[in-house]
Amino acid sequence: MNNKPSTPPATRPATRLSRREFLGKAAAVGLFTIVPRHVLGGPGHVAPSAKTTLACIGCGGQGSQNMMAFLDFPEMQVVAVCDVDRESDGFLSWNWKQGKEGKACGREPAKRAVEEFYGKQQPSGQYRGCKTYVDYRELLAKEDVDAVMIATPDHSHAVITMAALKKKKHVYCEKPLTWSVAEARAVAEEAKRAGVATQLGNHGQASEEDRVVRELIMAGAIGQVHEVQVAIGARFWHYPALQDRPADTPPVPAGLDWNLWLGPAAERPYHPEYHPWTWRNWWEFGTGQLGDLGCHKLSTIFKALDLRHPTSVEACSTKMFPEVYPLGVIARFEYPARGDRPPVKLN
């Protein structure tokens, strides 16, 4: 298979974004006293000084869904949102109970959602405490938050996560953790140095079905497992009709900072084939079907069977292209025996 070179964040092709410096540190935060919960609001109430403050970086379809989930935790307080897009349509609603129609996403819809949520908890019915940012570096420089949620396109996961870890922020980053293996290793090392809480957002491994499957396999309900077939299925985003970069250069939509969206990727003109939603098709921005849905479906197998490094990997695909992932891929992994467990073939 034609593998794209894996290079660490520091050596990825740079644009103006990666050459700019952070905007400087915010003023030092004074000491505060944590008031016991029962003093202010009775059992179950979380005092404002005891809450974990959170900034949400990336407010598209998945980012918005994550943000709304965090809002439901009374011990959390979303204080800032950041997205390179002010507001635009065409994002898939990740709450599929609402259907798969497009929805408006971006920093302004995210801010409205946060303030509406907290406003319902106020006697006045209003809340105006959520700040908006275009550039994640400005947010990290100005906001003394405890944690960040990162749900940007794959190619910028590593650089934003690294910046947050260097600021000693707790990090929840959407899967895939990084765009390349080298980036994943660099992020893991930085997380160890930072000593903060980190989590990879992988909804596929947080389901009841995942736990039941693992329990059945580990209990020996189906005997020893020798071979696993995993069907990832068709894309739920459209595959491009072209196999190279678009030739036309439509104007950048109002409210979108295209240079910031590109982040660590090489410069190229804006095109709707990249944003919103369809960046997953492109080598430079996404990680294809294996990197996207494979994270969900393979995590269960790896945990249940205690798989580590394979002894061999063989892959084949439909026609390869220099810019776009192939339409279909079959990957065959072989894993050695683990203790009393036999070797496993994973397709």
Give pLDDT, residue 249. Answer: 95
What is the chain's Cα-based Rg? 22
Task: Note the pLDDT of residue 202.
Answer: 87
Q: What is the mean pLDDT of residues 245-256?
A: 95
pLDDT for the residue numbered 277: 78
Query: Does residue 317 surpass a pLDDT of 50?
Result: yes
Q: Which residue has the higher pLDDT, 93 or 176?
A: 176
**Res. 28 pLDDT band, cuts 50 70 90:** very low
What would the DSSP string read from start to end of 122-146?
A: STTS-----EEES-HHHHHHH---S
Which pLDDT belongs to residue 43? 52
Is pLDDT of 37 > 50?
A: no
pLDDT at residue 47 tops 70:
yes
What is the pLDDT, as a whole number, of residue 290?
84
* DSSP character at residue 147: E
pLDDT higher at 334 or 242: 334
Question: In this predicted structure, what is the pLDDT of residue 96?
Answer: 53
Average pLDDT over residues 117-140: 96
Residue 20 has pLDDT above 50, yes or no: no
Mean pLDDT of 103-126: 93
Res 203: pLDDT = 80
Helix extents (H) in the chain: 16-19, 37-41, 61-71, 107-119, 136-142, 157-166, 181-194, 208-218, 258-262, 288-305
DSSP, res 150: E
In the block, residue with structure tokens 């994943």? 184
The more confident residue out of 93 and 332 is: 332
Domains of the chain: 9-201 (3.40.50.720), 205-237+285-346 (no CATH)
At residue 257, does pLDDT exceed 70? Answer: yes
Residues 6 or more apart in contact with residue 218 via CB below 8 angstroms: 304
pLDDT in tens, 157-170: 999 999 999 999 99
| Mean pLDDT, rounded, of the chain | 85
Q: Is the pLDDT of residue 337 over 60?
A: yes
Alpha carbon distance 343, 331 (integer Å): 17
Question: pLDDT of 271-303, one tens digit each?
Answer: 999 998 789 999 999 998 888 888 888 999 999
Quote the pLDDT of residue 104.
Answer: 84
pLDDT score recorded for residue 25 = 30
pLDDT digits (tens, 9 = 90+) for 184-224: 999 999 999 999 999 999 887 878 988 999 999 989 999 99
Share of the chain above pLDDT 90, in %: 66
- 88 has pLDDT over 50: yes
Please give the pLDDT value at position 121: 92
- The percentage of the chain sitting over the pLDDT mark of 70, rounded to a whole number, equals 84
What is the average pLDDT across 87-108?
Answer: 72
Using a cut of 0.75, tell me whether the model's pTM lies above it.
yes
Contacts of residues 190-196 at CB distance under 8 Å and 24 or more positions apart, as own/partner, are 190/161, 190/162, 190/165, 190/166, 191/165, 193/165, 194/165, 194/166, 194/168, 195/168, 196/165, 196/168, 196/169, 196/170, 196/171
